Structure 1
Amino acid sequence: MTCVTSENDPLARPPRGEGGQGDGPYRPFAHLTAENSALYRRVMGVFVRAKQEFTVHLRPEDVHLGLPPEARLSLDVVAAALVQLAKWGNLRADPDTGRVTALEDFYRARSIYQLTRAGEAAEEALAAYDEALGRRGELQAVALADIAAQLRTVLALARRPEPDPAVVHLSLLALVERFSGLAENARAFMGSLQRTVDLHEAEVEVFLAYKQRLIDYLERFIADLVTRGAEIAELLEELDAPPDGPIGPLLRLAAEREASDAAPDAAAEALAAAEARWRGRWDGLRAWFLSVPGRSSQAKLLRSAARQAVPQLLAVVQALNERRTGRSDRSADFRELARWFAEAPDDDSRHRLWRSAFGLYSARHLTIDQETLAEREADPVPASASWYDAPGVRISPQLRRTGSYERRGRARAVQDRGEARTYLAQLARKQAEQTAAARASLATGGEVRLSDLGGLDRDAFRLFLLLLGDALSAWRPGAESVSTTTNDGTMEIRLTRLPGGGIAKIDTLDGTLWGPEHLVEIIDLAPADEPLGDDRD
């Protein structure tokens, strides 16, 4: 990097609109858009590091030595940069009288520099900007455990007759800080995950190596979110039980402690603002983990987004594998066609390749009149003639008026689809019979243990998994039982928790299902005389 100062160099003169004598609150940011902005940023970085080491003033020689060796310019260039930064308001220049040893030294322009408040604020803003752009989102399973632990601590404080306000305030602050980090990182991670899914030009080997680690990461977080999320939801429900719940007095204690330092004439307003702020934080925490009618919780939405990302990643992997195995790809075809055009020996070959690739032949579907045909026979037009130089073609008035040309001929014969309808009717009847048999085999006639549902065939077991999934998705935190019906209203399942029941084992033709023991009752709601199908044509 070379830099020569002159009257046109921004090191000697600020850019237009950012003069040293102009007024404006954002002058310390002018060095970002000026020429040699990289040098200005490095110089300001030297002052920031010096401030961290409790050094206040720096001479040009100190700044020159503090620059990285690969970006170190001459001392005159650094001095010019310091002068320009002082004009913008980033630095303050003071006379350097510490090295005056003779009278003539008073007439030399020697200065020492230090950061101004505006320059320090600008550097802090730029550091926050760089940190926000470089932050990598992550799904923090550890944060879920920390939030649950903090909620248990808050619940223990709520059960005390007179909790310590300082302990309550610090516990709530730790809870809010951990939750804020979890929410922000989850949002950033899902945004970066979508960009990863949309990334189609990545190196195949790199993406394939990364996708398995990412899928494992998502699966672990989803499992933790399901288990920890249910625990956090139960703690939130217990803390916020109606009418006010034990969390209300704790929020007031935290608000009173925050408002205790307010001025006497603004104490009431500060207390009201602090209470509103803490209630809003608590409502945000509840909305993240608890669903209400008409609105799903953010944890549920995050879980759904993470689950949807897995098949999307697999689809990208499939597309990459197809590209590697040589299957047709539009972008690859166009690149190959461009290579053929580049290797063509002359323009005639390129024109033939163009016509073969894109099929841009003459408009043979247009109908012309007899007069035009006679003119063409009398004065033929070669096929190589350009459309710009060739005479015009008069087409049929009917085509110009209606925009379509109907080909005359025999109508197509009507196909007999009776055999296909018969096959579809028989298939529907067979499927209805299988479904009815599965419903009949699943009907328990009362409450039974899950482990007693053995010997199920494939159709009955598939239907049972659907019923079990509907029941588990309808289960509310803290509930002991759940009852739900299928979408078609033909079956009802009632599932009841069985404390101390152990592990249920269900053997099927496809394998063994393991899970916590429950009491289950499956009721067939379909009418006994329901038709199983119709094999009429």
Structure 2
Amino acid sequence: MTRSDDPHANRPIGAAARGNGSYQPFAHLTTEHSALYRQVMGAFVRAKQEFTVHLRPEDVHLGLPADGRPPVESVATALERLARWGNLRADPDTGRVTALEDFYRSRYIYQLTREGEAAEEALAAYDEALGRRGELQAVALADIAVQLRALLALAGQPVPDPGVAHLALLALVDRFSGLAENARAFMSSLQRTVDLHDAEVEVFLAYKQRLIEYLERFIEDLVTRGAEIAGLLERLGTPHEGSAGPLLRLAAAREASDTAPDASAEALTAAEQRWYGRWEGLRAWFLSVPGRSSQAKLLRSAARQAVPQLLGVVQALNERRSGRSDRSADFRELARWFAEAPDDQARHRLWRSAFGLYSARHLTIDPEALAVRGADPVPASASWYDAPGVRISPQLRRTGSYERRGRARAVQDRGEAKAYLAELARKQAEQTAAARARLATDGEVRLSDLGELDPAAFRLFLRLLGDALSAWRPGTDTVAVTISDGTMEIRLTRLPGGAAAEIHTLDGVLHGPEHLVEITDLAADRESAGSPR
């Protein structure tokens, strides 16, 4: 016996929607009672994790939070609508049929559809991305250095193991991707923290000290670990020139080995290009090149700039707490005075006193009219309609300006000033080039052998020495860095024995431990390489 007029007798709810492709798995987010729909779908996700396939309405009702749990009838209605949108599949519940009346009563068991499960996974990823708090991962820097040392050891083997190389590269890429993404998110949230002037003062001040200590610790780790990572990347080289290339090709060949035979060549080429791009991105993050600073250097600079910005916010908050007057406080106090004024006349007087805006009685008039007004003054509150007329110049009425225009001012010749600026720029460029030429060494020399330095050369030397010392890492004896503009390179090597070096300048003598130093003028090398023979 069948009932042809019952649309649910022979097919589950949602079958018609699946037939014409009219699924709306995200419709429950923009409709009324969306919070209930999210809770119901969450109950099905938890049930799937516990390997429970079907749920009855009463099971879903018990799976909802006890605090504010809706009636079971509301849950049943929500289940029907979710099944209509395609998030759930509803099948007749025949397990509890004991009488003919139960057979004709609409009873269903529900399970997640593929569309509903995909929608919940997308929503979970969305919520996770919104709730993610970026962090500066000093531990990730140490892990990247460990993976690079492992790759350097693999590169030194006659026949590296493809599996070990592939897994090491995957771990390196995963750690580096997390570091870069978290650093970006942290700097974005840090800027929002700096801009957060309306936060509670006590909460912000307590958070400020921990944040500054966190930034200082990460900057220190980034300087030391970043220099170590940069050195390892230099030793591994580029994908086309260096020991990293064979390892990258091994990983690409291992990834392409599972592809179909007719697409193996294309898959191998695509995998190689993908690994080359990852390696170049890693190098660009830690290594600076002429004309472009590394991302690690930019991150270090941004973190350093955030510390004084945070201190500035703290200073502003302290001034606000101490009652120091500022523009916003003045306007709030003025608004309170306006609200407490007894009538409109008092408010008008307050307005004129605060802003100095009066009636428009500033037209230019002749001395005779001024004398008349002095003898019989007109109050500022008088209406224009009732006040006596004012005789004005016809020129003011005709042109809108009373001034008699004379000859236009001659165009000023700024050629002399431009020539002076050009000459000044030329002299500064020559002075900088002379300083670079003075510091450039022919191979390694001792610091004490540099001789006496003029002020320009000494300033450039201090800049080079500061970059070299900031890139120095524990346990090494040599460091080589290039300054940010890419014009000079310095290689500094520690000498044993503890000898002292003296560098004489016009302003005094610089004392320090003796080192071997090699300074290269990269700008002069490029000019000589590009000049015609």
**Partner of residue 361 from structure 1, selected from 351, 354, 358:** 358
State how far apart, in whole Å, the 1-side matches of 2:386 and 2:90 are.
Answer: 75
Which residue does the alignment assign to 1:472?
A: 466
State how far apart, in whole Å, the 1-side matches of 2:351 and 2:23 are.
Answer: 57
Residues 480 and 490 of structure 2 are in contact (CA less than 8 Å); yes or no, is this contact kept in structure 1? yes
Structure 1 counterpart of 2:494, which letter?
L
Residue 241 of structure 1 deviates from its aligned partner by: 6.0
1:31 equivalent to 2:28? Answer yes
**Partner of residue 50 from structure 2, selected from 40, 49, 53:** 53
Which residue does the alignment assign to 1:258?
A: 255
State how far apart, in whole Å, the 1-side matches of 2:494 and 2:64 are.
Answer: 70
Which residue does the alignment assign to 2:228?
A: 231
Number of matched pairs: 449
**Partner of residue 64 from structure 1, selected from 42, 61, 64:** 61
Q: 1:262/1:40 Cα in 2 relative to 1: closer, same or farther (>3 Å)?
A: same
State how far apart, in whole Å, the 1-side matches of 2:498 and 2:189 are.
Answer: 42
**Partner of residue 494 from structure 2, selected from 494, 498, 501:** 498
Q: Percent identity?
A: 77
State how far apart, in whole Å, the 1-side matches of 2:135 and 2:186 are.
Answer: 5
Residue 382 of structure 1 deviates from its aligned partner by: 5.7
State how far apart, in whole Å, the 2-side matches of 1:263 and 1:302 are.
Answer: 43
State how far apart, in whole Å, the 2-side matches of 1:41 and 1:64 are.
Answer: 13
What is the SS of the residue equivalent to 1:27?
coil
List gaps (5 residues or longer) in structure 1: 1-18, 408-442, 454-459, 507-512, 523-537
Structure ranking higher on relative contact order (CA contacts 8 Å, 6+ apart): 2
State how far apart, in whole Å, the 2-side matches of 1:284 and 1:53 are.
Answer: 41
**Partner of residue 350 from structure 1, selected from 341, 347, 351:** 347
Residue 389 of structure 1 deviates from its aligned partner by: 9.0
Structure 1 counterpart of 2:265, which letter?
A
1:165 equivalent to 2:158? Answer no
State how far apart, in whole Å, the 1-side matches of 2:28 and 2:477 are.
Answer: 62
State how far apart, in whole Å, the 2-side matches of 1:502 and 1:26 are.
Answer: 78
What is the SS of the residue equivalent to 1:216?
helix
List gaps (5 residues or longer) in structure 2: 1-15, 405-438, 503-509, 520-533
Deviations 1:100-159 (A, max 9, x none): 111110000000000000000000000000000100001111100000000001111111
Deviates more, 1:301-310 or 1:110-119: 301-310
Residues 61 and 72 of structure 2 are in contact (CA less than 8 Å); yes or no, is this contact kept in structure 1? yes
State how far apart, in whole Å, the 1-side matches of 2:289 and 2:23 are.
Answer: 46
State how far apart, in whole Å, the 1-side matches of 2:139 and 2:283 are.
Answer: 19
Structure 1 counterpart of 2:159, which letter?
E
**Partner of residue 91 from structure 1, selected from 88, 91, 113:** 88
Residues 447 and 516 of structure 2 are in contact (CA less than 8 Å); yes or no, is this contact kept in structure 1? yes
Pairs within 5 Å for 1:436-447 = none
State how far apart, in whole Å, the 2-side matches of 1:80 and 1:337 are.
Answer: 56
1:341 equivalent to 2:338? Answer yes
What is the SS of the residue equivalent to 1:363?
coil
State how far apart, in whole Å, the 2-side matches of 1:237 and 1:67 are.
Answer: 57
Deviates more, 1:230-239 or 1:311-320: 311-320
Deviates more, 1:325-334 or 1:472-481: 472-481
Tell me how large the CA RMSD over aligned residues is.
Answer: 4.1
TM-score normalised over the length of structure 2: 0.74
Structure 1 counterpart of 2:59, which letter?
D
Residues 495 and 518 of structure 1 are in contact (CA less than 8 Å); yes or no, is this contact kept in structure 2? no
Which residue does the alignment assign to 1:120?
A: 117
Which residue does the alignment assign to 1:244?
A: 241
Which residue does the alignment assign to 1:153?
A: 150
Which residue does the alignment assign to 1:178?
A: 175
State how far apart, in whole Å, the 1-side matches of 2:60 and 2:511 are.
Answer: 69
Pairs within 5 Å for 1:7-46 = 27-46=24-43
Deviates more, 1:332-341 or 1:40-49: 332-341
Which residue does the alignment assign to 1:100?
A: 97
State how far apart, in whole Å, the 1-side matches of 2:263 and 2:148 are.
Answer: 32
TM-score normalised over the length of structure 1: 0.73
Deviations 1:21-68 (A, max 9, x none): 996676100111001111111111111111111111000001111111
Q: 1:517/1:377 Cα in 2 relative to 1: closer, same or farther (>3 Å)?
A: closer
Q: 1:246/1:496 Cα in 2 relative to 1: closer, same or farther (>3 Å)?
A: closer
Residues 56 and 108 of structure 2 are in contact (CA less than 8 Å); yes or no, is this contact kept in structure 1? yes
What is the SS of the residue equivalent to 1:171?
helix
Deviates more, 1:342-351 or 1:140-149: 342-351
Deviations 1:221-260 (A, max 9, x none): 1111111111111111111169631111111111111111
Q: 1:50/1:382 Cα in 2 relative to 1: closer, same or farther (>3 Å)?
A: same
